[in-house]
Structure 1
Amino acid sequence: MGTMTVAETWAAPQAEGPLKAEVTIPGSKSLSNRYLILAALGSRPVRLTGLLRSRDTDLMIQALEALGVGCRVNPEDPTDLEVEPPADGRFHGGAQVDCGLAGTVMRFLPGLAMLADGPTRFDGDEQAYHRPMGPLLDGLTQLGAGIDYLGEEGFLPFDLVPPDRLVGREITIDSSASSQFISGLLLLSPRAEGTMTIIHRGDHLPSLPHIAMTVEDLCRAGVQVQADPDHCRWRVERRQDGGTRLPVRVQVEPDLSNAAPFLGAALIAGGSVTVPNWPGRTTQPGGLLPGYLKTMGAGVEMVSDGQGGASCRVTGRGSIHGLGDFDLSPAGEIVPSIAAMLVFADAPSRLHGIAHLRGHETNRLKALVTEITRVGGRAHELDDGLAIDPVPLRDMHGAVMETYADHRMATFAAMIGLRIPGIQVLDIGTTAKTMPDFPGMWGRMLHGSSEISPDS
């Protein structure tokens, strides 16, 4: 990675006093891309509202269009989109799919390519060449796919040659590196002839809430799934019409993991931050965040909006408690935000169950240790996680922080900058992966805007 000049860095603003802001979070990336896939697998148009518009979802939309799916955006509201599946249910072969650095694109789209009438080429950013794909492609090979690697085996880029027929069977893979391998196979399963059974054979299965999200979304689309997560086994029955059937209109929940930097800011800077439209029940791993923040010493309350919804309000109380030995395996995607808060905690933390973060956009565990150390903090990797020890604020200092083309490392650095002066962030634009206007939203939060949205 080339060295960037100071002019290309973003000066992370320091909090000048306690916060008081309301921040509206864009739609969930995980749900947006799952609904796009499920809509494409159906037999009638589906309207998605509140859809996240970011690099990851735009890549998914472009890939679906390349496969012959109609995606019509409301010109007055880019978060309102109608998805029209191919008339005959068969996707177009010969497509080239740009996965960028999006795990949901590179691991969900190959399943749709199994239903195409010809080969599909999958490629992406150079950094994506290091994200594992092997277990998913192993599962697709068991279903009759041909995989021609154009680089290292088990990674992008590759060509996928679909089978003549997709017949359901029992598939066994090792999904220890990512729950997305299981989700990618589950999303394909409704179109298989007969019954599909997916079994994970490894010792550890990360991010089970994301698999539960996929199962719930399939059920919402009228698909019968027998889930046995205790035995790492999922059985999917084919619908009579051989596809999925989402409601004709689907509202996407806000991305609760993207709420983590903003709600965490209240602990680091003091004051309160409120996120509206918080779902009463959710399968998003970010839904665990309020409980984690309470454990770390925050005041957390759900405030009714009088219309059946609620807002989550988090208030800093002057100190941040260390977590001791703590299992974060259900919510690995919010670890960078949790880690940013724990840099300023009053006691050590040992975060466990997150070894799979080494295979995300970057090796997040190594990146977090590097960047915490860079500003004078103290951290080291564990076999299955991360250790963070408290350091007096006076011993920490400003620095130019790297983001590794990883949106969550960028928001982590912004959080560090709330309390440590002189933090500059390389490539803050990588946050566009899930939040197109993160710097603007962050600045408005700090300047006391009472209501902040991505478009304000």
Structure 2
Amino acid sequence: MEDMTQADLWPAPTATGRLDAVVAVPGSKSLSNRYLVLAAMGNKPVDILGLLRSRDTELMMDALRALGVICAVDGQDPAHVTVTPPVDGVFNGDVDIYCGLAGTVMRFVPPMALYADGPVRFDGDGQAYQRPMGPLLDGLEQLGARIVYEGEAGHLPFTVFPPASFPENPHGEAAQVRIDSSSSSQFVSGLLLAASRLPDGVTLRHEGHSLPSMPHIRMTMEDIAFAGGSVTFEAPATWRLRHRSLQLPSSVTVEPDLSNAAPFLGAALIAGGSVSVPHWPAHTTQPGGLLPMMLRAFGAEVSLDGMDVTDADALSTLDDHHAGVLTVRGTGAIHGLGEYDLSAAGEIAPSIAAIAVFADRPSSLVGIGHLRGHETDRLHALVTEIERVGSRASELADGIAIDPVPDSGLHGAVMETYADHRMATFAAMLGLRIPGIEVVDVQTTRKTIPDFTGMWQAMLDQNAPA
């Protein structure tokens, strides 16, 4: 670990009593950046309400602005952004786009360069150079683009040279693209978000050994349909996208980021008491929508507007657009999960791992081997930081095993975050019950939660009556 000054470290607060907190979670990063891209792909202005304002969404808006898209922020409401696409639908070429460490920017924007009037260069943070990009760029080459790498092939930085034209198939057959999306579902999503403009659409086939985070791909499909597109899925892993002009409604509202709710809701188990999140959608395509049942498996009581989340009959009476208050109550016991498949929601694995550190028996979180290619190698990072506080963990081929020890065997430590926002929130969760934890670069949480430390302290200040 690099030497850090005291000013660089955030002392993670320890819970002093049972919680009785309400936490308003900002908008979904996944939906915010998908809506921004789809609005830019349309032909009329779109008002996006409840947009997450974080480093990733700022990077996305800056990328779209470079391409000639107007992203105007309401002076009275920063979460209200009006997106106006170029009048002729052609994006600016001969521009540079900085992706930071944002996977949605580096995977969703390069396909838009197919419709630019010149080459588009992409770069990012140094750590972004480690993130895989090859399959997405292979797909763009299959659609006629030319890719020039400035460093390692298949990684940032690179330049996308758009095709001079898209030849129309006399038989009306869709363009054929085959990629291996085993390391990120964002390769599929990025191609699908942009491909409706292709003259005959596209048939996209995934040919890898596994396909992570299908909920994120289903989210993309639903959002494309919301914008007037036509995309269908054929098992085992083929998507057919017809040629369509995309246009979101004139006004759309972003759901809360349910994955970002995971640290706060998980705090109810670790610290005890209850935490509620308002505006929780009864039906959602967000992977974080799986969180209530995961917390239930740990032993929590979980309800939506007072209805037990396991009561399928009661929940079925809620309409598709119902949003209510989700409440998680810690019962005083945290049960280990045994072997638990997290492949559908790998992004919340760090929060699930933090809870598992305090469980009464081991947990093996599997189906998440692709996390080795996220902001950092999250599996290695989780094992390292769990062992740093005195617990036991090990890497599996496609996940991690956590063998908890009694609280008396845990101790404080300076915890690394690896420039990864979810490792920072993971460390904060451990700090609820382990005194003396200090977190390196907690401000990396600005990637998706602009004021995480303020929200975390405000939650802890809402103690249940003695």
Question: TM-score band, normalised by the shorter chain?
Answer: over 0.9
| 1:299 maps onto 2:301 in alignment | yes
Q: Secondary structure at the match of 2:256?
A: coil
Matched with 1:98 is 98
Q: Secondary structure at the match of 2:212?
A: coil
Matched with 1:37 is 37
| 1:394 maps onto 2:408 in alignment | yes
Displacement of 1:7: 2.4
Displacement of 1:449: 7.7
Matched with 2:199 is 193
Q: Give the whole-Å Cα distance in 1 for the aligned partners of 2:398 and 2:75.
A: 46
Q: Give the whole-Å Cα distance in 1 for the aligned partners of 2:323 and 2:159.
A: 46
Alignment of 1:131-146 (within 5 A): 131-146=131-146
Structure 2 spans left out of the alignment, 5+ residues? 168-173, 308-317
Compared CA separation, residues 5 and 166, structure 1 to 2 (3 A):
farther
Q: Give the whole-Å Cα distance in 2 for the aligned partners of 1:141 and 1:225.
A: 21
Deviations along 1:28-66, whole A, 9 cap, x unmatched?
A: 000000000000000111110000000000000000000
Amino acid of the residue matched to residue 246 of structure 2?
A: T
Q: Give the whole-Å Cα distance in 1 for the aligned partners of 2:48 and 2:450.
A: 19
Displacement of 1:238: 0.7
Matched with 1:425 is 439
Q: Give the whole-Å Cα distance in 2 for the aligned partners of 1:193 and 1:104.
A: 25
Amino acid of the residue matched to residue 170 of structure 1?
A: Q
Q: Give the whole-Å Cα distance in 1 for the aligned partners of 2:323 and 2:58.
A: 29
| 1:356 maps onto 2:370 in alignment | yes
Alpha carbons 1:277, 1:311 under 8 Å: kept? yes
Displacement of 1:304: 6.6
| 1:237 maps onto 2:242 in alignment | yes
Alpha carbons 1:199, 1:233 under 8 Å: kept? yes
Deviations along 1:330-351, whole A, 9 cap, x unmatched?
A: 0000000000000000011111
Q: Give the whole-Å Cα distance in 2 for the aligned partners of 1:201 and 1:374.
A: 39
Matched with 1:440 is 454
Matched with 1:206 is 212
Q: Give the whole-Å Cα distance in 1 for the aligned partners of 2:177 and 2:97.
A: 25
Displacement of 1:93: 0.3
Alpha carbons 1:114, 1:166 under 8 Å: kept? no
Q: Give the whole-Å Cα distance in 1 for the aligned partners of 2:3 and 2:420.
A: 16
Q: Secondary structure at the match of 2:191?
A: helix
Alpha carbons 1:353, 1:385 under 8 Å: kept? yes
Alignment of 1:172-187 (within 5 A): 172-187=178-193
Tell me the TM-score normalised to structure 1 length. 0.96
Matched with 1:454 is none
Displacement of 1:164: 1.2
Q: Give the whole-Å Cα distance in 1 for the aligned partners of 2:407 and 2:155.
A: 42
What is the aligned counterpart of 2:331 among 312, 317, 321? 317
Structure 1 spans left out of the alignment, 5+ residues? 451-456
Alpha carbons 2:283, 2:322 under 8 Å: kept? no
Compared CA separation, residues 132 and 5, structure 1 to 2 (3 A):
same
| 1:220 maps onto 2:222 in alignment | no
Alpha carbons 2:17, 2:463 under 8 Å: kept? no
Greater mean deviation of Cα atoms: 414-423 or 440-449 = 440-449
| 1:366 maps onto 2:368 in alignment | no
Matched with 2:272 is 270
Q: Secondary structure at the match of 1:310?
A: strand
Matched with 2:290 is 288
Alignment of 1:55-204 (within 5 A): 55-166=55-166, 168-204=174-210
Deviations along 1:265-316, whole A, 9 cap, x unmatched?
A: 0000000000000001100000000000001000101117999531100000
Deviations along 1:380-409, whole A, 9 cap, x unmatched?
A: 000010100120111110000000000000
Aligned residues: 446
Deviations along 1:391-438, whole A, 9 cap, x unmatched?
A: 011111000000000000000000000000000000000000000100
Matched with 2:390 is 376
Compared CA separation, residues 298 and 362, structure 1 to 2 (3 A):
same
Displacement of 1:95: 1.2
Deviations along 1:197-216, whole A, 9 cap, x unmatched?
A: 10000110000000000000
Q: Give the whole-Å Cα distance in 1 for the aligned partners of 2:112 and 2:268.
A: 42
Tell me the TM-score normalised to structure 2 length. 0.94
CA RMSD of aligned residues (A): 1.4
Percent identical pairs in the alignment equals 62
Q: Secondary structure at the match of 2:276?
A: strand
| 1:49 maps onto 2:55 in alignment | no
Alpha carbons 1:301, 1:312 under 8 Å: kept? yes
